[in-house]
Each structure stands twice: as structure tokens, then as C-alpha cells.
Amino acid sequence: MQFLECFASLKGLMLTEIYWVDLNPPDARTISPTFCSKLRTLEVSHNLIEGPLLNLMPASIERLAIGPRMEHRSDEDPPESYEGLARYRSLQTLHLETSLQDDIEWTPLFVRTIASSPALGALVKDLYIYLQDTQALWSSNDEDMAALFPAEATRNLSSLRHLTIDCELDLPPLKMSSICPSSIALYGRVQTLLFSGVLVDRIHDLMQFLEFFASLRTLTLTDIQWVDLDPPDAMTVSLTLPRLQTLHVYSNMMDGPILQLLPVSVESLSIGPRFDSELRSEEEFTDSFEGLARYQNLQTLYLETFLSDDIEWLVEALSFVRSPGLRTLSLVYNGRLSREFYRQMQAPRLRDLLAQEPFLNLALLHISIPRFNGTDEEVAPRKIQDFLESMFDADREGAFRPSYALKIKMC
């Protein structure tokens, strides 16, 4: 700590794999009141114990990340305590990471801290939950999941607005009813939700879970997979989410069923990149973007693909758009350019699509392509730029005058 006093202007600090010999509890009174007074972001992980560090850091912290803890702990290691969390009255973002199998006692310890400190819980606006272990008890037992996130802790998170639930991709199907089952009131306040890496039995299970997020404005669904591949019946799902405005879906097993079931109030929609093409089976994963026709309030549409994928799906998806108020369209191509790009992009068909309803009010067409990283001059930046301008910019004879501005970006 004395060494850190030299950094008077420090705003961000990461402490990892820190060890010390003298295990006597530190005396916070020996720390100067001006110690790291400008510090706002703190990350602590893999240290001998985190508690003493939390007891000594300035209370001005706004963003705090804790864990994972040091591996291979033994009974002889000093006991951990998180009472120091109660000091951080300015906390806005709290990020916790742990292994529920190897570190099963850590989460209850944190929960007890939050449960005993309503003032601390009320300051948390952003919560990240990472479910990692394939053998963790919660994967099959509702009671164990409820014990990890009991009501006495979650009810104190009264200011929570942003929630991330991130799962390891190898986990067994997750029971949606088991995710913080005591937190229904908590869900109703969340405005931004990111759901990643989840395997469920049915896509309907996910939709029913989302019904609890009545105040949701931004939703991100990524790497979502499900076991039952029967086409979903939209008539059985009454998902409204009246405040939802922004939707991101990418790398899911299929995006089509998700688009068929989510509410149509969305104004900004991002799709792609798609699920890994190497893992796709033509028989099992036949995706469709007909659901795009439901979203008639779209103002911004963002489509992203890998050049190694069948990039023709972008044009197919656009053929289903029915949003007369669409103002911005972004097409993003990632990967390594080859001469196949000229054919796969289907530029003539794309240009014809954009020259008719519902794209007549389009103001900006943004095309992003990878930088030149090879020796084939046919896909050099100047060649690509000339090609795109010849397709989508006004021609000299005036035969084609698009209503939108063209912006090309090499990234």
C-alpha cells in the first residue's frame, strides 16, 4: 500500500496473484485519507485473500471486479471475508467471477455480505453472473440454485439496471426457472440484459423467462442453443416487453426462431455473425429470416457475417425486411477477402432491393470490409472501393441515383 501511495493520479488498478507473509489483519487507520483518492476502477483476482485488500482501498471505487480466487486453496490458508465491500458507497458496477464447483463456499459468502448490507446492494447497478462448471449442482437441482441467490440477497439489489448471465458452452440444459427464482421483482427493474452460452430444452423456455423483464430496453442473445428443434409456435408465446427498443442476436444455433417470437417494438436490430458454419448441419440447422417481416418499426439494421460463411444469407435476410422507416443499414464482412467476394456479395441483387420499398427512406448504407492482407491485387482496397462505388453510388449517366449516402470502411 505504501508503494501505491506514489501513484497520486491513479484511476484504475488491477491486483492479481498478490501474496504476503505477515497474515495479521491490516490496520486501515495507518493508510492516508488521500490514498489513491482518484481511484475509480479496481480489479482483484487470484490473490492470497481479497478481504484485506478491500479493507484498505479507497471508498471512492465506482467499478469493482472480484475473482476468481486463488486456485488450490487449503484449510491452512487464511479465512476470507468480504466485509470491506460495505465501505464502497459509490459503487455502481460490481463484477463477480467464481468457479461454483471448486469454490462453492465463495458465493454464499458474497451473498451473506450483500444480505447483511442493504446499502451496498442498493448501489449495484450492473451485475455479471458467470456459470462455469459442468458438474455444478445448480445444473440439475432447483433448490441448489435458489440457495446460491436467495431472496434476502437479491432483494437488496434495488438499483440493478444491467444484468449479464453468461454460461460455459459445455453445460447441460439449464432450467430457466432455476435462475435466481427468488428475483422476479428484481427482473422487473432490469433495462439491459445480455444472455450468453445457454442451452435450454425448448426455445419457449427462454421466452417465458424473458417475460419477467417488463422494463427491458436492450436485449442481447448470443450462443443460445436448444434441444427441441420443432418449429416454435408464436401463438403459444405472449411475450410483450413493451419498452424493448434494441435487439442483438448473434452466434445462436438459429436466429430465425428467435426473431419469430420476440416482440416487434424493436427499432434497432443487429443480426450475426451466425453460428459457427463448421458446426452446422444442413439437415438440422436450416435457418430462415422470415421473422424480419414482423419488425416494421426498424430504424437501424446491422447485419454481420464471416466471409467463410455462406454470406448470401445477408441478401436473403434483407428480402424479408418490411420497415418503411429504416434509415441506416450496415453490412459488415469479416475474414479474409478473396475473388469470391464479388460473386457472393450479390451486389446487383442487393442494389435492386435497396431501390424499392421498404428501403426508399434509407439515408445511409454502411459497408465494412476487412483490410487487404494478401497478394491478390483483385481484392486490394482500391479495387474493392471502385467495385462498391460502381454498384451503390450514383452513376455518371444518372441512370441510378440512390436516396442514401454510401460509406465504405476498411477495418
Average pLDDT score over the chain = 81
Q: Whose CA is closest to 220, among 208, 232, 210, 205?
A: 210
What are the domain boundaries of the chain? 298-411
Residue 47 has pLDDT above 90, yes or no: no
**Distance separating alpha carbons of residues 333 and 369, to the nearest angstrom:** 5
**Distance separating alpha carbons of residues 384 and 370, to the nearest angstrom:** 10
- More confident of the two residues 121 and 315: 315
Question: Which segment, 79-93, 131-145, 181-195, 314-328, is predicted with the most confidence on average?
Answer: 314-328
134: pLDDT confidence band, cut at 50, 70 and 90?
A: very low
Kindly give the pairing relationship between strand 246-250 and strand 218-222. parallel
**Distance separating alpha carbons of residues 248 and 220, to the nearest angstrom:** 5
Least confident of 156-160, 258-262, 269-273, 371-375: 371-375
Residue 299 has pLDDT above 70, yes or no: yes
Other CB atoms within 10 A of residue 359 CB: 20
Burial class (CB in 10 A: 0-12, 13-18, 19+), 321: buried
With pLDDT > 70 as the criterion, what percentage of the chain qualifies? 76
Residue 102 has pLDDT above 50, yes or no: no
Least confident of 126-140, 201-215, 333-347: 126-140
271: pLDDT confidence band, cut at 50, 70 and 90?
A: very high
C-alpha cell at position 225: 442453443
Residue 88, CA atoms < 13 Å, CB-side half-sphere: 29
**Distance separating alpha carbons of residues 138 and 129, to the nearest angstrom:** 13
Q: Supply angle C-alpha 278, 169, 201, rounded to 5.
A: 95
pLDDT at 410: 87
pLDDT at 75: 57
- More confident of the two residues 37 and 77: 37
With pLDDT > 90 as the criterion, what percentage of the chain qualifies? 31
pLDDT at 317: 95
137: pLDDT confidence band, cut at 50, 70 and 90?
A: very low
Q: What is the DSSP string of 79-107?
A: PP--GGGGG-TT--EEEE---TTTTTTHH
Q: Which residue has the cell 482518484?
A: 38
Q: Whose CA is closest to 203, among 163, 279, 156, 261?
A: 261
204: pLDDT confidence band, cut at 50, 70 and 90?
A: confident
Residue 165 has pLDDT above 80, yes or no: yes
- More confident of the two residues 174 and 377: 377
**Distance separating alpha carbons of residues 161 and 140, to the nearest angstrom:** 28
C-alpha cell at position 217: 430496453
pLDDT at 265: 93
294-305 burial string, b = 16+ CB within 10 Å, else e? bbebbbbbbbbb
pTM value is 0.80
Mean pLDDT to the nearest integer, 138-155: 61
pLDDT at 53: 84
Residue 321 has pLDDT above 90, yes or no: yes
Residue 237 has pLDDT above 90, yes or no: no
pLDDT tens digits for range 356-402: 999 999 999 999 998 866 778 888 888 888 899 888 876 555 556 78
- More confident of the two residues 159 and 149: 159
- The DSSP letter of residue 370 is P
Burial class (CB in 10 A: 0-12, 13-18, 19+), 11: exposed
243: pLDDT confidence band, cut at 50, 70 and 90?
A: very high
Question: Which segment, 25-29, 117-121, 166-170, 321-325, is predicted with the most confidence on average?
Answer: 321-325
SS3 356: coil
pLDDT at 264: 92
pLDDT tens digits for range 71-96: 555 555 556 677 777 788 888 877 76
**Distance separating alpha carbons of residues 264 and 401, to the nearest angstrom:** 32
